[in-house]
Amino acid sequence: MIDEDRVRELAKILKRMNYKPITFDNPELFPEPDNFIYPNYVFFMVAIDHKTGFDVDFKYHGSDLLFYLARKSN
């Protein structure tokens, strides 16, 4: 059974955090959507994501950096 009060509480927390889920549509980070390559790419990249990063000012950090570097190596 869904506890609607808890769902509302979670919604308020997410709103305060200004949470924006990843859209997986940045061409610098992800291949064009299709029925095979795209889901497999995302699955395997997420499987190896270990908060990749380094101490340099760069436009991508964490998961985004991992996806960016993978796309650059194509």
Domain ranges of the chain: 24-74
Query: What are the pLDDT tens digits along the chain (74 aa)?
Result: 999 999 999 999 989 998 777 777 888 888 888 888 888 888 887 777 665 556 677 787 777 777 888 888 65
- DSSP string for residues in the chain: ---HHHHHHHHHHHHHHT-----S--TTTSPPP-SSHHHHHHHHHHHT-S----SS--S--HHHHHHHHHHHT-
